[in-house]
Structures are given as C-alpha cells and as structure tokens.
Chains A and B, each alone.
Chain A
Amino acid sequence: MQVLELLGWVPLFPFLGFLTLVLAGERFSKPLVSWIGIGSVGISALLVSLIGFEFLNGTLEPYRLLLGSWMEIDDLSVPFGFYLDALSMTMLFVVTGVAFLIHVYSAGFMESDPGYARFFAYMNLFVSAMLVLVLSDNLVLLYLGWEGVGLGSYLLIGFWYENPDNGYAARKAFVMTRIGDTALALGLFLLFTQLHTVDIQSLMLRASNQWPAGTLLPMVSAALLLGGALGKSAQLPLQTWLPNAMAGPTPVSALIHAATMVTAGVYLIARTHGLFLLAPTVQFAVAVIGAVTLLIAGCSALAQTDIKRILAYSTISQIGYMFLALGVGAWSAAIFHLLTHAFFKALLFLAAGAAIFCFHHEHNIFKMGGLRKAMPLTFWSFMIGSAALSALPFTSGFYSKHEILLAAFDASPVLWAAGCLGALITGIYSFRLVFVVFFGQQSRAVDKALGWSMALPLVLLAILALFGGLLQIPLDSVFPDLLNSAHDPILVSAITVAAPFLGLLIAVLFYLTGTFSTERFANYSRVKPIRQLFLSGWSFDGVYDSMLVRPFKSIAKLNKNDAIEGLYLGIAWLSRRLHRMVSTAQTGRVRWYASSLVLGTVAIIAIGLLS
C-alpha cells in the first residue's frame, strides 16, 4: 500500500478520539483519557511524518485522494477529497506537530481540572476539523472544516462555562467569525454559480481562463473570500474577539489562537491565490489591511498588563505580517512566517501558561517579577520566543520576517516602512514582557514546580523556534515565482535588521535599567489618553458596541410586543377568560347539579322527539 494513501487516516484518528471521549470519557480514568487524547493526535503526527518523508522525497506533484462522495447534484459535485501539495504538507506539519506538543503540555496543565476528558475531546475535535480544512480539495469541504474549527474554538474558549464572562467571550468569538463565515459562504456561492465547480484547483484554472484580470467578478469573489479570512484570522475590522478569547485555558490559546485556527485565513488566501492574482486591487487591500492591523495591534500590545492579552495582540500583529506578505505577492514568505510563528508563538503561550500555572494563576505581569531565578526553563523559553518574535538575527522569526519586509519594499516603500515600524514596536513590547516578568524583585514564592509533561514541549518548541528557520519547504512548487529581491539597497536590509534592536534598546532603557521612568512617562498629559486608547485596543469594542450592539438591542426591545407575540398572549388570555366563565357553573351544590341534569335530559328528549 502506498504510504500516501494513509492520508485519509490523518483527520480520522483525532475525530475518533473526540467521539470516544465525548461519549464515554467521563467514565475513563485520567491516564486512559490522556492516552486517547494525546495518542490520537500522536498517531496523526506520526502518519504525517511518514507521508511527509515520502512526499518530499518524491516529485512534489500534488497528490489527490478521493474518499467518497458527499453531494452529487447536477452541476454540484462535492467529494470527500483530499489534496496534498507542499502547502498542505506544511500546514499538516504545523498542525499535527504543534498540536501534539500542546496536547502533551495540556496533560500537565489541565491535570487538576474536573473537565479533563471534555477538554481533550474538544481539542481532538478541533484538530480533526483543522486537518479537514487544510486537506480538502474543494471549498465546501473546506467550509466544513472551517465551521468545525469555529465550533471547537467556541467550545474551548467557553470551557470554564460556569463563569458567564467566558461564555460571553466564546459567543463574541463565534459571532464575529460568523460574519466572516457568511462572507466566505457568499463567495463560495458566487464562485460556484459563475464557474460551476467547487474544486479549488479547477476554480483557479477556470477563473484565469474566463475572467480577465481586474474585472468585477474576480474582485467581488476575492473580496468575499478575504472577508472570510478576516474573520477567522482576526484582522481589521473583525479583530476584537481575539483578546477576549484569552478567557480560555492557555493550551487553547496556544493551539487555536496562535498556531492553527487564526492561520486558517492565511491558508485560505494562499490556497486560492490564483483568484487573488486576478484581482490586484483586492490583493493590495490584503496588504494594506495587514499593515494597518499589525500597527494597531502592536500599539495595543504596548499598553496591556495581562500576559495573555499581550500575546493575543501580538498574534494579531504577526498575522498582519502574513497578510502583508500575501498582499505583496510573497506567498512562500507568508507561509514560512506562518510556520515559524506557530513555533515561537506556541512556545510563548505555553511558557506564559507555565508562569501562570506555577505562580498562583496570576495574569498581571506587574504582579509577577524576578522569576528568572525561580523558573529558569520558563525564562529561557520566553527569551528564545521573544527573540524569535522580534526577529532578532539567526532565530527562525528573523528569516521569515526579513523575507516579508524585503518583498514589501519591492511592492511599496510605505508598506515596508509600516512593517519596520511594526518590528520596532514588536521588539519593545516583547522585551517589555520579558523584563517585567523575569527581572526585578520577586514578589512571592513560586507555587508549584513544572512537571515533565509541561517542560518537554517547551524545550522542543524552543529548539524549533531557534532552528526552524533552517527548514527548507519547497513551496515554489505551489506558488508562482516572486521577483528577485536581491536587488534591494543595502540600507533597506540594514534598517530592517536594526529595527528590532532599537525596540530592544528602548525596552531595556525603560524596563530593565530604569533609565527612563515609566511612571513619569505615563503621567505626561499627552501620553495618558494615548495609553488609554492603546489599552482598549483602539476602542474598537466601544465603537462596535455603540454603532451596532446598542441600536440592535433597542430595536429588539421595541419589537418585543409585536403582533405575533400578541397572538400567543391572546390565546393565553382567551383561555383564562373561558376558564373563569365556565368555572362559575361549578357551584358545588347538589341541587344545582341535579337541575342541570334535568335540563340536559329535557333538551335531549326534545331533540329526539322533534327530529
């Protein structure tokens, strides 16, 4: 049997794990649940390694696997089809590898949680949906995976459901991504009605044959697909759900909101790149959205105090980089950054989780301090992760971000400048985090020690974050060639490299050595409102609330007693009236009842006589 045929099993094992755990997980012992939950993803990771080995040593020709047919109606043919090329191979590596490590970590992090089996069930569901998403060869199956990860995300953000705030965060995430999902569905419908197929490769082929570049149809469909991507990847204007989603457990934030689900939008655009090439305006819009988002999110991260929110805004910012890359045509760079980002962001989140876990479940970075000596592994993980995040040289993040920024310069110097400014800000906030948490005075003693199940993934991810940049994924087989960026002036490259160092320097001056006082700076009259603006994420929440939520609520309240409501209330009222009328006939007196008997008899005999 060909190894590549094992592809069909890859999403199946986590799904079976989900079914088992959701149906019977409550009755299993904790070790058994761990074996099933981690094992299912582990088997998928193993299969992916085998398949990867086989694929990458071959001709790199796309491999199609047909598992069966879902719908066959007239024009519409939706098979359960999987499509393996370098892009989906990369995504498979990322998803299964990082997911496996995070599952191992969760065994330690969620150990004392009563919903242990439920957690692993949902995580498995999520992983299987994500795998379907990246493997599917047609848009409808992709949409199935898309919705599946949305469901998994909702279930996991609201995992600790007893707290209503968590439920709110979960609903907010679901509703906002739903807006994007609707756009995606509309785009899907448009593409199908115009091109009569949902298979992605056929779509791109037919589109390039039938639609001239820059006309209305490719623009609209690309814009709709972009809308879907914006929702899932938390870019402007649909980015407000991601900071709230930090209400879920830290492994969830690491898996879903750093490494996998939020990258689904990037994957979608990369997958349908042929369509975007036909709509240059929309592609440029992708870049602009990416650039603006990365700046906004980076500034917001500067002012946050919750360790996970800093990382959340950082994620939004880094995905902005990926969108920027996609927008300027650097497809491979975007996917490469996706890969490295998965490594170092998961590392950062898991390390943050370790700090939270061992330090009294504290989230505020200003209440932590001096943890360098007490938690060395966490400290070094954070250092490596932050270095990769800031794209300091020779880390994995450096290679990917550098490629993106150079490609951006080729397209538009303004975009490149935005990207460099973003790198500067990234340097500031990431090292601000490190210095505040790990240097200075330790306020309290550490609660617990780190178990091996939490330490091992940290080590592995740290290695990947450092050396992942050396991975050579042959993405040229998927994407069209990019313009050679070797002709950029040396100055551009130099500034690109230097920007994060400048950010590091600023962070050192403010937070490490205390040369500049942060309190004095924060109390400047001009700075205060800006700081408030950054802290609230540029007030998007407030704007959406007053623009959309409040009017909707007031309209709903006005409409509360409308005609249909009146109909049902009227039925109830009528019933009560009739009851009261009839109950007066029940007097409880025997003679009254006897008289009514006689009356009835008279009536019946009369009817009998008269008819």
Chain B
Amino acid sequence: MNGIPMELGLSLSAVLFVLGLIGVMVRRNLIMILMSLEVMLNATGLAFIVAGSRWGQADGQIMFLLILTLAAAEVGVGLGLALQIFHRFRTLDADSVNEMQG
C-alpha cells in the first residue's frame, strides 16, 4: 500500500490554495472572487483527505464533508450578497463598494 507520498498531496493542496489566493487578491469581479474562494476551500479539503488517507481513518473525509457544507452555505449567502450589490451599485466591481473608508 505505497500509494502517493503525503508530501506530494500536501504540496498540491498548497499550490491550489495559493492559486486561489492570487485569484482573490487580483480579480475585481465579485463572482470571480467568490470562485477563487471556492478553489481555496477545495484545496483545504484536499489536504484533509490526504491526511485521512495517510492515517486510514474516516475523520479526514468527515472534515471534508463539513468543509463542503460550509462552502455550500457560504456560496448561497455570498451570491445573494453579490446580487444585492449588483442591484444597488449596478456593477460587480468589488472596489466600488468602498464607502467605509478614511
């Protein structure tokens, strides 16, 4: 049962996480920011699965299930907020929602 080395799995998870992070920091479109957030969440889930696979326990998958639930709820509310912002500001520019400044 050699399988895949754990470091590789974790490194992949790190790469995906960092890519998602770059997406959050660079993109201005709200939808794209939310999608990049999904990537980050997914990468975290991958890390948990890798760990669960290494120890052979169900905890990893259960953690992933919970992350999934979290992502679902977050996307629901996040997209609702994006819709509201679009209603009010007529644009999906994240930088236009900057009235709490100074």
Contacts and interface: CB of A to CB of B under 8 A. Distances in A.
A is bound by B: yes
Interface of A: 583, 586-591, 594-595, 598
Contacts of B24: 591, 594
11 contacts: A588-B97, A588-B98, A588-B100, A588-B102, A589-B94, A591-B24, A591-B26, A591-B94, A591-B95, A594-B24, A598-B25
B94 A588 contact: no
Contact of B25 (A586, A587, A588, A595): A595
Given A594-B24, A594-B25, A598-B25, A587 B94 contact: no
B28 interface: yes
Contacts of B7: none
A602 to B, nearest CB: 11
A586 B21 contact: no
A591 B28 contact: yes
Nearest to A580: B102
Interface string B71-102: 00000000000000000000000110111111
A499 B9 CA distance: 125
A571 B21 CA distance: 42
A589 B102 CA distance: 11
Given A583-B102, A588-B102, A590-B94, 13 more contacts: A586-B101, A587-B98, A587-B101, A588-B99, A588-B100, A589-B94, A589-B101, A590-B95, A591-B28, A591-B95, A595-B25, A598-B21, A598-B25
A83 B101 CA distance: 77
Interface string B17-46: 000010011101000010000000000000
Contacts of B100: 586, 588
Interface of B: 21, 24-26, 28, 33, 94-95, 97-102
B95 to A, nearest CB: 5
Contacts of B26: 591
Given A595-B25, A598-B21, A598-B25, A590 B102 contact: no
B90 to A, nearest CB: 18
Contacts, number: 32
Nearest to A587: B101
A588 B101 contact: yes
Contacts of A588: 97-102
Nearest to B101: A588
A595 B26 CA distance: 9
B27 to A, nearest CB: 8
A595 B21 CA distance: 9
**Nearest 10 interchain pairs by C-beta:** A588-B98, A588-B101, A588-B100, A589-B95, A589-B98, A590-B94, A595-B25, A594-B24, A587-B101, A583-B102
Contacts of A594: 24-25
Nearest to A595: B25
A595 B94 CA distance: 14
Contacts of A590: 33, 94-95, 97
Nearest to B37: A594
Contacts of B95: 589-591
A583 B102 CA distance: 5
Q: Which of B24, B26, B99 has the most CB of A within 10 A?
A: B24
Nearest to B98: A588
Contacts of A591: 24-26, 28, 33, 94-95
A594 B22 CA distance: 10
A595 B102 CA distance: 18
A589 B98 CA distance: 5
A603 to B, nearest CB: 15
B94 A586 contact: no
A443 B34 CA distance: 95
A323 to B, nearest CB: 72
A102 B101 CA distance: 70
A595 B22 CA distance: 9
Nearest to B95: A589
Contacts of B99: 588
A487 to B, nearest CB: 97
Given A591-B24, A591-B25, A595-B25, A586 B102 contact: yes
A580 to B, nearest CB: 10
A132 B82 CA distance: 83
A241 B102 CA distance: 58
B50 to A, nearest CB: 20
A347 B35 CA distance: 99
Contacts of B25: 591, 594-595, 598
Contacts of B21: 598
A578 to B, nearest CB: 15
A585 to B, nearest CB: 10
Nearest to A586: B101
Contacts of B33: 590-591
B59 to A, nearest CB: 25
